[in-house]
Structure formats: structure tokens, C-alpha cells
Amino acid sequence: MQTSIPNWLMQRAFLTPERIAVYDGQGKKTFMELHESVMKRARQLANTGVRKGDIVAIFMKNSVAMIECIHALHYIGAIVLLQNTRLTSHELAWQLKDSGAVYVIADDELADRIEGNIRVITMSELSALPEENVEFQQYYHFDDIATIMYTSGTTGKPKGVLQTYENHWWSAIGSALNLGLNENDCWLAAVPFFHISGLSIMMRSVIYGMSMYVMRAFDAKKANELIIGGKVTIMSVVSAMLQKMIADLGERRYPETFRCMLLGGGPAPKPLLEVCKAKGIPVYQTYGMTETASQIATLAPEYSLTKLGSAGKPLFPSQLRIEKDGQVARPYEPGEIVVKGPNVTKGYLHRPDATAKAIRGGWFYTGDIGYIDEDGFLYVLDRRSDLIISGGENVYPAEIEAVLLSHEAVEEAGVTGIDDETWGQVPCAFVKRKRGYSVTVEQLKQFCQAHLAKYKIPKQIYFVDELPRNASQKLLRHQLKQLIPNNENGAL
């Protein structure tokens, strides 16, 4: 029999009605107040015609209203498709069409970016709608899909990752069993809810009965104030955010109330970790992805000295191993990171082939490369071999290459990540022009702007005569960096 848990926010509103669920710059809401706002929004959504089982997209920036919309859709029993607000109209339209979403709820100022045959509900429109009675989901069934998030992959075609209620539940429980659970916890959500790093904070909030503080956009100064003031006890960051916070922090120190800086989004630069150690910042390095509904391994700070650079061990309900040539690798032998656990996705929306390729024998093949030391600590070497992580955003070379290749002057294109002080990595492109065509770097960047979110646009574009390929003409992205003129190498 499948597990069903009483509707999470509803149960919280019943069990701990007066506890604070959410703060933002302006005010706060208790779990009961949040539940009441959510019921209202659910009835307004019902008025527009949203029904149980519908896929409804959300195209919003972090806000209490966004949290309410996600919960409201779950109250109705709809599936929430979370869309990155940095996508171009074209990227967004493709994903909406692929998913079969019937509605998209959007911030007013983002609504004009939505194209295609889909019903757009702006927040001001929604807020003005009359309420219509609708049956609320009294239980969340573990097998049901709660959310969908698109990720690209080595093929370059974005895929919708299915996240069940079970995935979110176990992710939250696994995290609590590792990080603990204190009565006064307040988790700062300065990462977007359309990413799993942000959404998982929202899920933990209702499952734990824990306060969260919502930031519309990351603000290093404000984040430091919240931590120093004792308001925030845990925060999720990527390296770029942490770097800005440390720059702003100066000689100040965080108080003891701040107990966890959860650092994800790709391997962290060692100098950054060393600075954190010196400043006594309790950094928990973590490894996770959309497909694992957030963390699957996390390093406890007690090991931050001895295991510097490691992403730690799996969370209690999960497992992790390294495979090389179909065999479990020996300690220190690099190979593909393979994971298992009730927080791991069942697969991709409408992609049985991609699902079958990624999930084999109950294990999910991440495509990421790493090794495990003799004590069982994971070290991530490379994300999905050619994945670029720029400021916490996943950037897939194949997607950028596809755009470049659609330009009439481009014959071949290869993209790889290069180190960047601010963003960790940025994409860098290598282009072979067609004979008889001329195009400038600037023109290609402008072309990319029309088709790609800003963070995906190559920071550098080099024209080359030939791209490195293997015998079967497969592009060798790892060798691209060698094409960078020597005097520029490392200076980017």
C-alpha cells in the first residue's frame, strides 16, 4: 500500500498554527495564516479552471505569493512545473509545450515573456479573481508527482525531471537526520524556488514546522545582517553567493546561532573553503541535483579540515557509489557517480528512453565524475563531464552549441566551461566559420542573446580552424581549453 501523509501545510496549520512559517522583508505569516492564504489562492485558481492532475507552470521570482501558489496548486492536486525566470521566451515556450502545461501563473512583470498557446494568469489577475469551491487534497500520496523542473543534459534537449511527494519528503527527512532540527531554526531562501535548492527549503519548512526567510533576489549585505542579527540559523548558497557574503562581511563574524551554511551547486574552490574555515563559518559542502530532490551527500563541518573539498557521505536513507566500466570502483579511482534512494526521481516526463538510460537496476547514473576515498567520502571531480555550473545555474554546452550552429555562418561549434572568479565557471565557445561567410564575436553574442538566457551566453568566443574530435567524430569538449591562445589562458 502506498504511503500517504496528511497534506503537509494543512497538518502544520493544525499542529503548530501559531508558529511563524515565513518572513520576508515586509512581514511574516504563521502556518495558520499561510494555510488560509493558500486556501484562498486555491479557490481563485479553481475559478480559472485549474483542476486536479493539470500541469500548471509557475514563472515567478521568490516571494510569499510564489510559495502560496505552489501550495495552492498542491491543495488542488495539480502538478507544479517550475520555470527558471532567466529563460528566454523561446526556451520557455519550448518547455511549456513539451510539458503539456495548460496554465502558467506569472509575476506581472514577467508575463509578456510568455509565448505560445497557453493560458497566462498574472498575479494581479489571480488576486482579483472571485473564489470558487474546490476539493482540497487531504493527503499527499507518495507516488504522485508534486513538481517538475527542467534540466538539460548532454544531449542538450531539456528534460522535465519528475519529483514525487515521496522524493521531497525523504529529501527533507534525510537532511534533518544529518543537520539536526532545532526549535529556533530559520532557513534563509536566497536561492530561487524554481531550483531544487530553493524549493527544498520550502518543503522542509512545512515538513519540519520551521520558519523560512524569503529573499526575492540574493542580497549579500542583507543576508549577513539576518545572520548576524540571529534571525537566520541556516542558509543555502552557491560559491558565488558565499564569496560576495564574505567580501561584505569584512572583519565581522557570524554568531553561534548560525549553525549551517549549506554550500552546493558544484565543486567549491578550495581557497574559498579555507577562508570560511579561518572565519569559523560552518560550511557544509553538499552534492545534489534536481534528480535527487536536493542534497544526496553532505559533508559535516567536523570533517571540513580533514576532508577539505569533499562533498561528504550520503544522507541516511540514500546510497552512493562510483562505477567505472560497469564495475564498482576502488577507493580513489574516479568514475561515474551513481546514486540510489527514495529521494531520487522516477524519471523524466515523456522520456522513457532517457529514463531507462539514467535509471538502471534501481540506481540513478548522474553522469558526474568523482571518487570515494577509503573512508567513504565523496569527491566530485566534474559535473556531468561537460556540464558548466555558472553561479549555481546548470549550463549545458550542447544547448549553446545548438544555438551557435543555427547561425548561417557557423559550421562547427564547441563549448566548455572556463574558470571565473565571480561565477565559478562561465561558458566559452569555439567556432569554425563556414567558408565564404564572415561573422564577428560580437555578432555571435548578439545572436545568442536572442535564444539563450543571459548566463548561458559564452563569455568568450574563439574562432578556430578545427575542433578536437575522436575517431568517430565525437567532439572532445575536454580538449577545447587547449585551443585558447596561450597568453589568455587562465586570465579569463
User: Which CB atom, from 192 or from 312, has the smaller least distance to a second copy?
Assistant: 312
Candidates 176-184, 224-232, 243-251, 274-282: pick the segment binding a second copy (CB under 8 A). Answer: 176-184
Which of 309, 334, 376, 468 contacts a second copy by CB under 8 A? 376
Q: What span, in angstroms and rounded, lies between the C-alpha atoms of 188 and 212?
A: 6
Partnered with residue 164 across adjacent β-strands are 145
Should residue 177 be labelled a site residue for a second copy when binding is judged by CB under 8 A? yes
H or E stretch covering 80? strand 79-82
User: Which CB atom, from 250 or from 362, has the smaller least distance to a second copy?
Assistant: 362
Window 351 to 370, contacts with a second copy (CB under 8 A): none
DSSP states along 103-171: EEEE-GGGGGG--SS-EEEEHHHHHHSPP------SEEETTSEEEEEEE--TTSS-EEEEEEHHHHHHH
Which of 108, 316, 350, 421 contacts a second copy by CB under 8 A? 316
Closest approach, Cβ 4 to a second copy, in A, equals 9
Should residue 176 be labelled a site residue for a second copy when binding is judged by CB under 8 A? yes
Q: What span, in angstroms and rounded, lies between the C-alpha atoms of 367 and 386?
A: 9
- With beta carbons less than 8 A apart as the criterion, state whether 46 and 133 touch: yes
Candidates 3-11, 61-69, 263-271, 481-489: pick the segment binding a second copy (CB under 8 A). Answer: 3-11
Q: What span, in angstroms and rounded, lies between the C-alpha atoms of 354 and 148?
A: 16
Should residue 280 be labelled a site residue for a second copy when binding is judged by CB under 8 A? no
- Distance between first and last Cα of the chain: 56
H or E stretch covering 32? helix 31-48
**Helix residue ranges per DSSP H, 284-406:** 352-358, 397-405
Cell triple for 188: 534563509
What is the per-residue binding string for a second copy in 118-157, x denoting contact by CB under 8 A? ----------------------------------------
Half-sphere exposure of 95 (CA within 13 A, CB side): 29
Should residue 208 be labelled a site residue for a second copy when binding is judged by CB under 8 A? yes
Should residue 209 be labelled a site residue for a second copy when binding is judged by CB under 8 A? yes
Q: What span, in angstroms and rounded, lies between the C-alpha atoms of 403 and 408?
A: 11
Q: What span, in angstroms and rounded, lies between the C-alpha atoms of 191 and 198?
A: 5
From the list 104, 296, 119, the residue with the least C-alpha distance to 194 is 104
Window 11 to 30, contacts with a second copy (CB under 8 A): 11-12, 14-15
Closest approach, Cβ 368 to a second copy, in A, equals 21
**Main-chain dihedrals φ then ψ at residue 99, nearest 5 degrees:** -75, -25
Should residue 207 be labelled a site residue for a second copy when binding is judged by CB under 8 A? yes
Candidates 2-10, 82-90, 248-256, 446-454: pick the segment binding a second copy (CB under 8 A). Answer: 2-10
User: Which CB atom, from 25 or from 255, has the smaller least distance to a second copy?
Assistant: 255
Should residue 3 be labelled a site residue for a second copy when binding is judged by CB under 8 A? yes
Closest approach, Cβ 343 to a second copy, in A, equals 11
Closest approach, Cβ 182 to a second copy, in A, equals 6
Which of 116, 309, 342, 468 contacts a second copy by CB under 8 A? 342
Residues in binding contact with a second copy, number by CB under 8 A? 24
Should residue 53 be labelled a site residue for a second copy when binding is judged by CB under 8 A? no
Which of 128, 183, 217, 361 contacts a second copy by CB under 8 A? 183
From the list 166, 160, 183, the residue with the least C-alpha distance to 99 is 160
Cell triple for 33: 495564516
Half-sphere exposure of 345 (CA within 13 A, CB side): 33
H or E stretch covering 336? strand 335-340
Residues that bind a second copy (CB under 8 A): 3, 5-6, 11-12, 14-15, 173, 176-177, 180-183, 207-209, 313-314, 316-317, 319, 342, 376
